[in-house]
Structure 1
Amino acid sequence: MVPDSDSVRVYTVNGAATGSSSSLPDWLTRKRAAKGKGKKRIIKDQIEGTIELIQGFEFPEASNRVKTTRDGHHVIATGTYKPQMRVWDLDQLSLKFERHSDAENVDFAILSDDWTKTIHLQNDRTIELHTQGGFHYRTRIPRFGRSLAYHYPSCDTYVSASGNEVYRLNLDQGRFMNPLVLEEEEDGEILGVNVIDINQAHQLLAFGIDGNGTAQFWDPRSRSRVGTLRLPRDRLMPVGSRADNLSVTAIASRMDGLSYAVGTSTGHTLLYDIRAARPFALKDQGYGLPVKTVSWIEGGSRMAGDGMVLSADKKVIKIWDRNTPASNFVSITPATDLNDVHHLPGSGLVMTANEGIQMSTFYIPQLGHAPRWASFLENITEEMEDQTTRSVYEDYKFVERSELKTLGLDHLVGTPALKPYMHGYFLSLKLYDTARIIANPFAYEEHREKMIREKMDKMAETRIRSKKEPGVKINKALAEKVLRDAEKAKQRAERKTKRKTAAELMDVDEGEEENEEPSRPNLLSDPRFAKVFEDPAFAIDENSREYALLNPSSVAQNSGSRQKTAVEEEEEESDRPSSDGLGGSDEDENEDDGRDVSSDSSAEGELTKFDPRSRPGQRNFRAEEVYQREKEENRKGWMAKKKVNMVPMRPQAGGQRSSDKTATFGQRRAPVASTSSKKPGARRSNAQQDDAPMEISWVPSSGSGGKDDGAGKRRDQSGNEKGRRKGVESFGAGLERGFEEHAELADSDRKGRTHRRKGVRSGSKNVFRRMDG
């Protein structure tokens, strides 16, 4: 398929596709392609690679001429090598037969409506007649022939050759008649007659002269010349060239009997009305090569209309309108040089005879319908067009009702200007563009600025710059948070590695941390979320209400001017040290401590940045360290302000301090008169002694059911001494590790059960057994 600039599609249904020409001959290209492949592989490539409309539509080396019969059921073509004629049956789309000859064919004509009777002009000055049975008769002409035409009313065959004579062979009488002698005038010498045309309307003969640039018209009834057509040499010949090089190489008459198409040796096609001496249209092929074929395309056209002209040289086929010759309806450039082009009347099919093995066939749906014997081509091409067409309504724009109201065209609802479809309308593209410009005059400028900005950004990406985070154009705060979380995860992994040895020695829940899920790619490294940091459409609006609901801590940290709620003020008051004797006021504490409590540089923001809701069970080690440090500093500051010296307590018994460690809490709490209280002025009341600060420590015993006497021995509730159990390690607070070894174990406990249970339900059979008493 070859798309044309005017959206006219050309489908190659036989032969090589256009634009694939090669300097190597076709047979050598095939031989190289088939080298190293089997026969089945070659056949498979031919079937899958191209569409073969007519099977075996080819010659061993090249083809010379191609024509179809008037009944439209057969194709006849001649070619070489060896010189031969081939006939294809179009109803079967295959070769019917081939017939060889002694000399290469120059031209041939079909005498009957079918393929049974033909006449051939050979390059050895012979004329052969062929019938259904084969070769029928052969005769010779004095000079080498150039063209051949058959006049049906008189059964005369006109044969043109070099020189000024046109030979007449009457097939009814079976003999040559007097030839037509073309008269030489002041135009120049006649070197030969290149082409013969017989008008189907009034049977006027037209001869294309070689050498003097003229075309002569003869009446077959009087066998005399009725007119001479002289080509405009000044318009056709280039400056400085010889005037006698202009020749007529192709002629075709239209069915109206008045119009003629004349092809020249300079690559021009002229359209004439025989009532006027000047051409009304001129077409240049562009290559300067002689025109091989010209023909009128009549009937069957869809988009082309009447009066289309086909002109071809050996390089290109051009189909154009007679009224606008400057523009082409379609242009086809085959892969090989052309020898002949034939258009099937009333269809869009064009066949070519060329200098290649395969003969080409092109189907142009816009030119005409497919012939009856190839009607399936229309279904194939329609499916291909549906696959390649972007939109069914190319000249329409689909708009919704809201957009229609924005453009100010909602008053057109219900009129033929709008075509309802689904939830909107189809609007003419021209009307849509006009309305959009009126509604927004700066639409083009905005679009232009956007395109320029995108182009500048694309150019800026190619510049050499310092290394940055790849792909982070927007949401930089989110990217920093992702990197920060990744760094923290790395630090946690390092700390876990350091605690690995201790976790192996102690049977604690450390193993659960080792079984954490494997590391997964984060947002920056995951390609699925690449557009989050590149496309502006995914930019996070930190000022929106939704962002504040999802990230309350970040919003509270960033908005310093926000007023606090009543609950927050109450919580802040409860967190402050009380103003009684224990803690003092905030002002006193700030003055005594010498620092501002509200501005802790090391811990500020650490607790607010941690959100346990994001990952349940996660520990913030940094926050715990800061909390312990602040707790210790506050405790030291409070003790320094009160000037309290903490000393270990001594247990008391009977009003005297004793070294008995088994003293109860009440014995320790009982007041006693110290030696310092005997001094004058040093007496204290019982209340003051009761309120004196005191440090209490509690050490759990090694067992829950006994007491420890301090010598490493355990005592039970009755006071009896009980030694440590062998194989059991105690940590205090009732924590133990290991098991107690028993000297003697029963055989059933040591080896397990050795016989089957009796009187119970079997696990292998769904039955109940009887219980023995």
Structure 2
Amino acid sequence: MVLQVSNANNVKVYTVCGSTMGRKIPEWMVQQKKKELKKDRKWQTRVELIQDFDFPTASNRIRVTNDGQYVMATGVYKPRLRVFEYSDMSMKFERYTDAENVNFTVLSDDWTKSVHLQADRSLQFHTQDGVYYSVRVPTFGRDLAYHYPSCDVLVAAAKAEVYRLNLDQGRFMKPLVTSSATGVNVVDINPAHQLFGFGTEDGFVEFWDPRVKSHIGTLIPSSSSSSVELPSSYEVSALKFHTDGLSVAIGTSTGQVMLYDLRHARPYLTKDHNYELPIKSLNWHTASVDTVSHRHKIISADPKAIRIWDKDTGKPFTTIQPKNRDINDVCHMDGTGMLFVANEGPEMLGYYIPALGPAPSWCAFLDNLTEEMEETPQESVYEDYKFTTREELTILSLDHLIGTNLLRAYMHGYFIKKELYEKARAIANPQAFEEYKQRRVQERLDKQRQSRIRANQS
């Protein structure tokens, strides 16, 4: 068994869930391909830290429960939610829903109570028995958050209002009306003093005091550096408060991340992803000890890449780029080096970064096994090909294949499949076929001897 590892900026990132090579096999092909998979080395040596950590088509959102024992995710198709239990490292259950999920939040310490904002303008409340209650929101929702002191579910929608559903009284309260002309994209609540933050489609952030339900300030994002210029038009696509109560990270629809101290109107740091894609997710990573070698970091993600960088200097720490799939959501397990990623592929991804933090307690064995299971350099991607020159192709009467997909031009010659090369060589030189058979027999004998020697040594 091996672990896929990348080493961007000399920081090792291990893929512990899913695969960057997209090795997911559809269910209807499993039986048909079972015999072939037995011979597929990459399939047989894959590592799945959590079994069935996937959805049929794509995953939308992913969250870790407050007790750190479960992970809940939503995806398609058909729309559903799945809960995975860490102690068993497998799926606990799945539940189908009527519409695709926009966002959700967990209300209880474990998975038993959660509220889901759906694409059909409904708020669904789930318990361990199923859907407990469903209520319609006046306009299409874009984000939600739960304010524990007042029992209010805040729903950011496609209008200026932020709707409040009070779970204690069981009714909608007077909405919070922002000054946005188009709508509110994101909502977040400061964990230290419960300040509300609303990121709007118009490109500014409004702050509200939950005690008096009134607007207390507006922040218009600007760049802190002349090297990073904000475009003339953008939206606020991500918003995240820090646990210190003073810092807030703001992500834009054009790929910039700005870090603010709430006591100042200008950001103290601006980071550009350089993809001109909306920031999908923001997370503050707090190191166990804030030293020069272990500084607090920001984990920001757009559809193409996850960037981890220093919150004080902006210095890049590492970058994760899943292949052939867009990122929808990123969830970081606090106090660890584990990241979970919801994306547009069937498999959800899990990454373990030892330099970011230790492995979670439920998979503490990763700390000892990562280096042992780290993949070794593989043979060339052209291991089944033979390199030939144009002159040799002429001798073998294969020069008419130049320009077709049977030959791959490379430097001063071409790559051709070994099987085709051997057949052409046998036709051009009949004696070569006997030499080929003898060589194949000798190769098989050598492999058998080698396997017997290894068996005796173990």
TM-score, normalization by structure 1: 0.46
1:270 and 2:258 are equivalent in the alignment: yes
Identity %: 49
Equivalent runs, 1:478-493 vs 2, <5 Å:
none
Corresponding residue of 1:104: 100
Closer/same/farther in 2, CA of residues 46 and 386 from structure 1, 3 Å limit: closer
Corresponding residue of 1:284: 272
Q: 2:5 aligns with which of 2, 6, 24?
A: 2
Structure 1 residue 123, shift from structure 2 partner:
0.3
Deviations 1:183-233 (A, max 9, x none): 25xxxxx3111100100100000000102x210000111111111101127
Q: 2:44 aligns with which of 48, 64, 81?
A: 48
- Report if aligned partners of 1:315, 1:337 keep a CA contact under 8 Å in 2: yes
The structure with the greater share of residues assigned to helix is 1
Structure-1 separation of matches of 2:12 and 2:28: 31
Q: 2:306 aligns with which of 307, 317, 331?
A: 317
- Report if aligned partners of 1:129, 1:136 keep a CA contact under 8 Å in 2: yes
Closer/same/farther in 2, CA of residues 165 and 42 from structure 1, 3 Å limit: farther
Equivalent runs, 1:519-530 vs 2, <5 Å:
none
1:339 and 2:328 are equivalent in the alignment: yes
Structure 1 residue 303, shift from structure 2 partner:
8.2
Corresponding residue of 2:19: 16
Residue type at the aligned position of 1:124:
D
Structure-2 separation of matches of 1:378 and 1:122: 39
1:194 and 2:185 are equivalent in the alignment: yes
Q: 1:182 aligns with which of 150, 159, 178?
A: 178
Structure 1 residue 250, shift from structure 2 partner:
0.4
| Secondary structure of 1:256's aligned partner | coil
**Pairwise CA RMSD:** 2.5
Structure-1 separation of matches of 2:29 and 2:134: 42
Corresponding residue of 2:396: none
Corresponding residue of 2:214: 224
Structure 1 residue 323, shift from structure 2 partner:
1.9
Closer/same/farther in 2, CA of residues 248 and 36 from structure 1, 3 Å limit: same
| Secondary structure of 1:222's aligned partner | coil
Structure-1 separation of matches of 2:89 and 2:27: 26
Structure 1 residue 4, shift from structure 2 partner:
2.6
1:144 and 2:137 are equivalent in the alignment: no
Structure 1 residue 157, shift from structure 2 partner:
0.3
Deviations 1:695-741 (A, max 9, x none): xxxxxxxxxxxxxxxxxxxxxxxxxxxxxxxxxxxxxxxxxxxxxxx
Closer/same/farther in 2, CA of residues 183 and 37 from structure 1, 3 Å limit: closer
Deviations 1:311-347 (A, max 9, x none): 000000000001221x310100012100000000000
Deviations 1:482-528 (A, max 9, x none): xxxxxxxxxxxxxxxxxxxxxxxxxxxxxxxxxxxxxxxxxxxxxxx
- Report if aligned partners of 1:314, 1:339 keep a CA contact under 8 Å in 2: yes
Mean Cα deviation higher: 255-264 or 291-300: 291-300
- Report if aligned partners of 1:68, 1:76 keep a CA contact under 8 Å in 2: yes
Structure 1 residue 38, shift from structure 2 partner:
2.5
| Secondary structure of 1:6's aligned partner | helix
- Report if aligned partners of 2:200, 2:235 keep a CA contact under 8 Å in 1: yes
| Secondary structure of 1:296's aligned partner | strand
Structure-2 separation of matches of 1:384 and 1:303: 30
| Secondary structure of 1:381's aligned partner | helix
Structure-2 separation of matches of 1:125 and 1:300: 41
| Secondary structure of 1:38's aligned partner | helix
Structure-2 separation of matches of 1:339 and 1:387: 31
Structure 1 residue 50, shift from structure 2 partner:
1.6
| Secondary structure of 1:373's aligned partner | helix
Structure-1 separation of matches of 2:339 and 2:301: 12
Structure 1 residue 40, shift from structure 2 partner:
8.2
Residue type at the aligned position of 2:320:
I
Closer/same/farther in 2, CA of residues 296 and 311 from structure 1, 3 Å limit: same
Corresponding residue of 2:163: 167
Structure 1 residue 379, shift from structure 2 partner:
1.1
- Consecutive unaligned residues of structure 2, counting only runs of 5 or more, are 378-458
Corresponding residue of 1:69: 65
Corresponding residue of 1:586: none
Structure-1 separation of matches of 2:208 and 2:271: 26
1:93 and 2:89 are equivalent in the alignment: yes
Structure-1 separation of matches of 2:330 and 2:364: 22
Structure 1 residue 286, shift from structure 2 partner:
1.4
Residue type at the aligned position of 1:324:
T
TM-score, normalization by structure 2: 0.76
- Report if aligned partners of 1:76, 1:88 keep a CA contact under 8 Å in 2: yes
- Report if aligned partners of 1:338, 1:354 keep a CA contact under 8 Å in 2: yes
Structure-2 separation of matches of 1:135 and 1:103: 13
- Report if aligned partners of 1:218, 1:227 keep a CA contact under 8 Å in 2: yes
Residue type at the aligned position of 1:160:
A
| Secondary structure of 2:369's aligned partner | helix
| Secondary structure of 2:9's aligned partner | coil
Structure with higher Rg: it is 1
Deviations 1:50-87 (A, max 9, x none): 21000000001100000010111100000011110100
Structure 1 residue 30, shift from structure 2 partner:
5.2
Structure-2 separation of matches of 1:230 and 1:361: 35
Structure-1 separation of matches of 2:321 and 2:148: 35
- Report if aligned partners of 2:5, 2:375 keep a CA contact under 8 Å in 1: no
Closer/same/farther in 2, CA of residues 46 and 88 from structure 1, 3 Å limit: farther
Closer/same/farther in 2, CA of residues 193 and 42 from structure 1, 3 Å limit: farther
Residue type at the aligned position of 1:237:
L
Structure 1 residue 16, shift from structure 2 partner:
1.4
Corresponding residue of 2:246: 258
Closer/same/farther in 2, CA of residues 387 and 45 from structure 1, 3 Å limit: closer
Corresponding residue of 1:520: none
Corresponding residue of 2:78: 82
Structure-1 separation of matches of 2:39 and 2:121: 41
Corresponding residue of 1:467: none
1:203 and 2:194 are equivalent in the alignment: yes
The structure with the greater share of residues assigned to strand is 2
Equivalent runs, 1:493-512 vs 2, <5 Å:
none
Structure-1 separation of matches of 2:375 and 2:342: 32
- Consecutive unaligned residues of structure 1, counting only runs of 5 or more, are 185-189, 389-773
Corresponding residue of 2:112: 116
Deviations 1:510-559 (A, max 9, x none): xxxxxxxxxxxxxxxxxxxxxxxxxxxxxxxxxxxxxxxxxxxxxxxxxx
Structure-1 separation of matches of 2:58 and 2:322: 14
1:214 and 2:204 are equivalent in the alignment: yes
Greater relative contact order structure (CA < 8 Å, 6+ sep): 2
| Secondary structure of 1:37's aligned partner | helix
Structure-2 separation of matches of 1:316 and 1:368: 20
Closer/same/farther in 2, CA of residues 30 and 130 from structure 1, 3 Å limit: closer
- Report if aligned partners of 2:116, 2:124 keep a CA contact under 8 Å in 1: yes
Structure-1 separation of matches of 2:336 and 2:288: 6
